[in-house]
């Protein structure tokens, strides 16, 4: 059965924090940040905005674009690294707010790889007959957990949310393969504590309730794993780098994306990058980039997409997707029935 994305919606908070704003808060410069990361500004959640409220806004955007999109949703998966609470899940909170109370819902914790993991999960549920129409969300308020004293990391992150409907699509479209992985050996390179006062490999005095990061280690890992996992996903799908119309990477750092792209052999003009305006929004970054590329008419019906992501864990996730943009993108009941 072919399963793909049929609808998208996104949200970014109103408040924009520029590099010039950061110059007033930290010992840093716009030039330093742009040359090391490519980031110029990021959106920051208001005091009363959290992953669930931003996820709701993304779902509302999706409904505005596709009014019938929530009809028949029978599973909600929310990928987030900054959930409102350990429980209730952010997915359940969002479901309750958008008229889906009672629908199965849970959060998926896989840091920045989460959106692609959630797509794989949704695909699996649908293929196994557990669900038919899954609402996949990536929602983050990283600004509330980054260490604003650490000029090496706080400049990187931003807040945002994305929502997608994953369901049956006509044959020839949809997800063709996934390549997923995780290795806790790299855990100390990027972490955020929760209940335990220890994480293997992290020194006790570095266990503040804030995001901890070793930039050099993450950079090395990311550059290698983006290329390797992307190649694995392509190979599984019987594709080559030359078949990719659009590489849609997790938007962490343009230097990572460039280095990975070069190793991979995909030309710059085939890569979707919008991190200059959002920073690293973790699980929201791929939907935010994809939505912009679709809206701009860059990603079109039948285009071959490749998602690649990496994050805390350390984790990684790549996925090949033949983009379904037919009939205004939304497959209504009839088309879904035919291919099911």
Partner 1 sequence: METFEQVKEVIVEKLGVDADKVTPEARFVEDLGADSLETVELIMGLEDKFGISISDEDAEGIRTVQAAVDYIGSKQ
Residues of this chain that interact with partner 1 (CB under 8 A) are: 35-36, 214-217, 219-220, 223-224, 255, 259
Name the active-site residue from 43, 66, 123, 250. 250
Beta strands in the chain (DSSP E): 3-11, 15-18, 41-44, 75-79, 104-108, 133-140, 160-168, 174-182, 190-191, 212-213, 246-249, 304-311, 315-322
Query: Active site includes 280?
Result: yes
Q: Which two tokens stand for residue 117?
A: 């993991």
Q: How many residues does the chain have?
A: 340
Would you say 226 and 308 are in contact if contact means Cβ atoms under 8 Å apart?
A: yes
CA distance 183 to 198: 17
Residue 165, sorted as left (phi over 0), alpha (psi -120 to 50) or beta, turns out to be beta
Four-residue CA torsion sign, 87, 139, 194, 201: positive
Nearest approach in angstroms of CB 143 to partner 1 is 24
Of the pair 132, 220, the CB lying nearest partner 1 is at 220
Nearest approach in angstroms of CB 259 to partner 1 is 6
CA distance 112 to 315: 8
Query: Active site includes 123?
Result: no
Nearest approach in angstroms of CB 241 to partner 1 is 18
Of the pair 174, 227, the CB lying nearest partner 1 is at 227
Name the active-site residue from 19, 214, 253, 280. 280
Of the pair 11, 221, the CB lying nearest partner 1 is at 221
Query: Active site includes 110?
Result: no
Name the active-site residue from 78, 110, 112, 119. 112
Of the pair 203, 301, the CB lying nearest partner 1 is at 203
Nearest approach in angstroms of CB 274 to partner 1 is 20
Q: Where in the sequence numbering do the catalytic residues fall?
A: 112, 250, 280
């Amino acid at each position: 059965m072919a399963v793909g994305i049929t609808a998208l919606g996104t949200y970014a908070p109103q408040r924009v924090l520029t590099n010039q704003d950061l110059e007033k808060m930290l010992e840093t410069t716009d030039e330093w940040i742009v040359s090391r990361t490519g980031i110029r500004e990021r959106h920051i959640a208001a005091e009363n905005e959290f992953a669930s409220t931003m996820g709701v806004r993304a779902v509302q955007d999706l409904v505005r674009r596709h009014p019938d999109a929530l009809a028949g949703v029978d599973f909600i998966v929310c990928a987030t690294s900054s959930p409102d609470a350990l429980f209730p899940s952010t997915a359940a909170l969002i479901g309750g707010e958008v008229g889906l109370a009672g629908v199965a819902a849970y959060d998926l914790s896989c840091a920045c790889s989460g959106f692609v993991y959630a797509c794989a999960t949704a695909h699996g549920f649908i293929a196994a007959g557990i669900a038919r129409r899954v609402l996949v969300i990536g929602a983050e308020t990283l600004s509330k957990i980054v260490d604003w004293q650490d000029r090496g990391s706080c400049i990187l992150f931003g807040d945002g949310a994305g929502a997608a409907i994953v369901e049956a699509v006509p044959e020839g479209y949809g997800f063709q393969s996934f390549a997923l992985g995780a290795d806790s050996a790299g855990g100390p390179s990027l972490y955020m504590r929760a209940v335990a006062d220890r994480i293997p490999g992290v020194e006790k005095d570095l266990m503040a309730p804030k995001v901890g990061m070793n930039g050099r280690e993450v950079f090395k890992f990311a550059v290698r794993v983006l290329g390797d996992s992307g190649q694995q996903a392509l190979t599984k799908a019987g594709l080559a780098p030359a078949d990719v119309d659009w590489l849609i990477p997790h938007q962490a750092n343009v230097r990572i994306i460039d280095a990975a792209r070069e190793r991979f052999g995909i030309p710059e003009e085939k890569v979707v990058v919008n991190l200059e305006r959002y920073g690293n929004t973790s699980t929201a970054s791929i939907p935010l980039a994809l939505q912009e590329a679709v809206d701009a008419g860059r990603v079109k019906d039948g285009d071959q997409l490749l998602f690649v992501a990496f994050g805390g864990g350390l984790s990684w996730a790549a996925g090949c997707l033949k983009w379904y943009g037919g009939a205004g993108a939304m497959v209504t009941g009839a088309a879904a029935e035919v291919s099911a």
